C-alpha cells in the first residue's frame, strides 16, 4: 500500500509539476481554512472547549485498557461481536474471514482512514470480493484507481472538471450535466443497486463509547447509513485510540471535530450504532462485528501518547504549507500532512519514511489549529532526532551538520573560517546578489541570495565599528 519512501523526492517533483493539483488543493483547503476560521471566531469559548477536549482524550488514553474492556463488555452485551487485531495484517484477515463466512461477493464500504491504514481495499481485492466505495470522493478515486489524498476529502487532488470526465467515462448512465447536482445524482444512481445487493457493509468509527458499547460515525452524505443498515453483516474497523468514556464525551469532541474539519456546527449524520438488529427492529444488520485494531498504538502510548488524541479532522493538512504545495499522494502513506508525517513512521518504519518528518518547516500552524493541541512540531522533531541517532539521515547531510557544529562550538576557528568564506562568497555575486551558488544550487535555482558583507558583524565590532 505504501510507496517506497526513497521515492519521496520523485513524488514531490511530480506533484510540483502538476498545475491542476495546485488548483484543486487550493479550492478544497482554502475553503476549509476560511470556514474553520469563521466557525472558531463564532465560538467565544473555543479555547476552553479545546482544553476540555484535550482532557477528555487524555483521560481516555490514560485509562485506555479499562475503557476498552468496558467497551468490549457493553458491546457484547448489546449483541455485537468484538475482535482484536494486533496489526494491519491481522485486522485485514479478520475482516476477510468474516466476509467469506457470510458468503459475500459484494462489499460496500463507507469512508474509513483506518481501512486505508490496514490495507483493506487491497486485501478485499485479493480475496476476490467486489468492493464498492460509497462515499462520493472515495467513489471518485475508486473509478480513477487511486488512493485518498486527504483524510476528509479523499479526492482533494482532483478538480470538479476531472471528476466530470471520470463520470462520463465510467458511469453506466452518464451525468446529465457537469454541474455538481447532476454529477451527484449520477453517482447516487450508479451506487444505488449495490447498497441493496451487498451482503456486507464495512465502516469505520469516529468514537467507541465505553459506557454503552456503541460506535459513532460522523458523516455527511448518508452513505454510511446505507452501508451499515441494509446488508446482513456490518463490520466496523476502528483504531483502539477511538475509545472515549461516555456519550457526552463523544459529543463534546464532535463539536470540535466537525468545526475543525469543515467549519460546520454538525455533520448531516451523527449516528450511534449499538449492536445488531433486535427483535421488532425494522432494519439493521443481523451480525454486527467490531474489529479493534492496535497497529502500533500501544507503542505510541509509551512513546508519543499525545498523538493518540488525534481526531482525524484534517485541519493540520489544510493549514500546512507543505501539504498545500505537494498534496497528499507525495507523502506515500495512508495519512498525509503533519499528522501523517508523525503517524507514518509508526506504521511503516522510520527508515523508509524519514523524509516525512524532515520535510517540514516547523512553523507550528498545525499545532495552533489542532482541536486537541497535539504538539505536532515537537513530535516531528522527535522523529528527526531518532532518525539522526539511528543513522538514517543522508550521509552528506549529517556530515555537514557535524562539521558545521564542530566549528560553531569553537569560536576562534569559526571566526577564521567565516573570515575566509565571506570574501570567497562575494566572488559569486553580481550587483548585490548571488544567482548561482555551487553548494546551494537548490536555493539559487529559484531564488537569489544576498551578497554577504566583507566582514562579519562581530569582526566589525572587534575593530570598534559602531554601524
Partner 1 sequence: MPETGNALEKPRVGLFVTCLVDSIRPNVGFAALALLEAAGCTVEIPLAQTCCGQPAYNSGADDATKPLARAVIETFEPYDYLVAPSGSCAGMIKAHYPELFADDPLWRERAEKLAAKTHELLSFLADLRGFRPRNVLCKATAAYHDSCSGLRELGVKAQPRALLDAVEGLELRPLEGEETCCGFGGTFSVKYSDISAEIVGEKARNVEAAGADLLLGGDLGCLINMAGKLRRDGARTRVFHAAEVLAGMADRAIGEEA
Q: How far is the CB of 344 from partner 1 (least distance, A)?
A: 16
Tallying the residues shown for the chain, one arrives at 467
The only residue of 326, 334, 346, 379 in contact with partner 1, by rule CB under 8 A: 326
Between 145 and 431, CB nearer to partner 1? 431
Binding of partner 1 by 393 (CB under 8 A)? yes
Between 232 and 386, CB nearer to partner 1? 386
User: Going residue by residue from 280 to 319, which x/- string records binding to partner 1, judged by CB under 8 A?
Assistant: ----------------------------------------
CA 51 to CA 414: how far, in whole Å?
46
Binding of partner 1 by 322 (CB under 8 A)? yes
Interface with partner 1: number of residues (CB under 8 A)? 66
Q: How far is the CB of 19 from partner 1 (least distance, A)?
A: 11
| Cell numbers for 33 | 481554512
Of 112-120, 192-200, 265-273, 440-448: span binding partner 1 (CB under 8 A): 440-448
Between 183 and 322, CB nearer to partner 1? 322
Residue keyed to cell 528527526: 384
Between 279 and 439, CB nearer to partner 1? 439
| Cell numbers for 209 | 463509547
Between 181 and 461, CB nearer to partner 1? 461
Contact 180, 169 (CB under 8 A): no
Binding of partner 1 by 362 (CB under 8 A)? yes
Binding of partner 1 by 467 (CB under 8 A)? yes
Binding of partner 1 by 364 (CB under 8 A)? yes
CA 22 to CA 29: how far, in whole Å?
10
Between 282 and 412, CB nearer to partner 1? 412
Q: How far is the CB of 452 from partner 1 (least distance, A)?
A: 5
Binding of partner 1 by 389 (CB under 8 A)? yes
Binding of partner 1 by 46 (CB under 8 A)? no
The only residue of 405, 416, 420, 423 in contact with partner 1, by rule CB under 8 A: 405
Contact 120, 237 (CB under 8 A): yes
203 closest CA partner among 221, 227, 219, 233: 227
CA 152 to CA 116: how far, in whole Å?
13
CA 250 to CA 70: how far, in whole Å?
15
For Cα atoms 339, 269, 232, give the angle at the middle one, nearest 5 degrees.
Answer: 100
| Cell numbers for 169 | 467515462
Residue keyed to cell 504549507: 321
Residue keyed to cell 472547549: 49
Between 185 and 422, CB nearer to partner 1? 422
Binding of partner 1 by 450 (CB under 8 A)? yes
Binding of partner 1 by 76 (CB under 8 A)? no
Between 127 and 422, CB nearer to partner 1? 422
The only residue of 79, 359, 373, 428 in contact with partner 1, by rule CB under 8 A: 359
User: Going residue by residue from 16 to 45, which x/- string records binding to partner 1, judged by CB under 8 A?
Assistant: x-----------------------------
Question: Strand 449-450 to strand 243-244: parallel, antiparallel, or no bridges (unpaired)?
Answer: unpaired
| Cell numbers for 157 | 487532488
Between 84 and 449, CB nearer to partner 1? 449
Binding of partner 1 by 411 (CB under 8 A)? yes
The only residue of 401, 416, 420, 436 in contact with partner 1, by rule CB under 8 A: 401
Binding of partner 1 by 395 (CB under 8 A)? no
Q: Which residues of the shown chain bind partner 1 in the complex (CB under 8 A)? A: 12-13, 16, 321-322, 325-326, 358-365, 367-368, 378, 381, 383-389, 393, 397-398, 401-402, 404-405, 407-409, 411, 414, 418, 422, 431-433, 435, 440, 442-443, 445-453, 455-458, 460-462, 465-467
Amino acid at each position: 500500500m505504501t510507496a517506497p519512501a526513497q521515492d519521496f523526492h520523485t513524488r514531490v517533483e511530480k506533484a510540483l509539476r502538476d498545475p491542476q493539483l495546485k488548483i484543486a488543493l487550493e479550492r478544497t483547503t482554502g475553503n476549509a481554512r476560511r470556514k474553520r476560521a469563521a466557525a472558531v471566531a463564532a465560538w467565544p469559548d473555543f479555547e476552553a472547549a479545546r482544553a476540555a477536549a484535550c482532557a477528555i482524550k487524555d483521560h481516555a488514553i490514560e485509562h485506555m485498557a479499562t475503557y476498552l474492556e468496558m467497551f468490549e463488555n457493553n458491546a457484547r452485551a448489546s449483541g455485537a461481536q468484538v475482535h482484536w487485531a494486533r496489526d494491519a495484517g491481522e485486522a485485514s484477515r479478520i475482516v476477510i474471514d468474516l466476509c467469506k463466512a457470510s458468503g459475500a461477493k459484494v462489499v460496500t464500504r463507507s469512508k474509513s482512514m483506518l481501512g486505508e491504514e490496514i490495507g483493506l481495499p487491497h486485501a478485499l481485492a485479493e480475496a476476490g470480493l467486489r468492493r464498492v466505495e460509497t462515499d462520493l470522493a472515495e467513489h471518485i478515486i475508486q473509478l480513477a484507481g487511486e488512493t485518498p489524498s486527504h483524510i476528509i476529502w479523499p479526492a482533494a487532488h482532483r478538480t470538479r472538471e476531472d471528476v466530470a470526465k471520470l463520470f462520463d467515462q465510467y458511469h453506466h448512465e452518464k451525468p446529465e450535466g457537469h454541474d455538481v447536482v447532476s454529477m451527484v445524482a449520477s453517482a447516487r444512481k450508479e451506487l444505488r443497486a449495490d447498497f441493496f445487493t451487498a451482503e456486507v457493509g464495512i465502516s469505520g468509527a469516529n468514537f467507541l463509547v465505553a459506557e454503552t458499547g456503541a460506535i459513532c460515525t460522523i458523516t455527511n452524505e448518508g452513505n454510511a447509513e446505507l452501508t451499515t443498515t441494509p446488508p446482513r453483516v456490518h463490520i466496523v474497523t476502528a483504531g483502539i485510540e477511538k475509545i472515549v468514556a461516555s456519550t457526552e464525551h463523544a459529543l463534546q469532541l464532535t463539536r470540535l471535530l466537525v468545526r475543525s474539519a469543515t467549519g460546520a456546527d454538525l455533520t448531516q449524520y451523527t449516528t450511534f450504532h449499538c449492536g445488531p438488529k433486535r427483535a421488532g427492529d425494522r432494519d439493521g444488520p443481523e451480525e454486527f462485528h467490531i474489529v479493534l485494531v492496535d497497529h502500533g498504538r500501544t507503542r505510541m502510548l509509551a512513546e508519543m501518547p499525545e498523538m493518540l488524541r488525534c481526531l482525524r479532522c484534517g485541519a493540520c493538512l489544510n493549514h500546512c504549507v507543505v501539504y498545500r504545495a505537494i498534496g497528499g499522494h507525495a507523502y506515500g502513506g495512508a495519512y498525509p500532512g503533519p499528522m501523517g508525517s508523525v503517524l507514518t513512521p509508526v506504521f511503516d518504519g522510520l527508515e523508509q519514511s524519514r523524509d516525512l518528518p524532515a520535510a517540514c518547516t516547523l512553523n507550528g500552524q498545525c499545532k495552533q489549529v489542532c482541536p486537541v493541541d497535539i504538539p505536532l512540531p515537537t513530535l516531528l522533531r522527535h522523529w528527526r532526532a531518532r532518525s539522526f541517532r539511528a543513522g538514517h539521515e543522508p550521509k552528506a547531510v549529517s556530515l555537514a551538520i557535524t562539521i558545521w557544529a564542530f566549528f560553531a562550538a569553537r569560536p576562534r576557528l569559526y571566526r577564521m573560517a567565516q573570515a575566509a568564506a565571506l570574501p570567497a562568497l562575494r566572488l559569486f555575486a553580481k550587483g548585490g546578489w548571488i544567482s548561482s551558488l555551487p553548494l546551494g544550487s537548490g536555493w539559487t535555482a529559484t531564488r537569489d541570495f544576498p551578497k554577504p558583507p566583507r566582514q562579519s558583524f562581530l569582526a566589525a565590532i572587534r575593530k570598534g565599528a559602531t554601524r
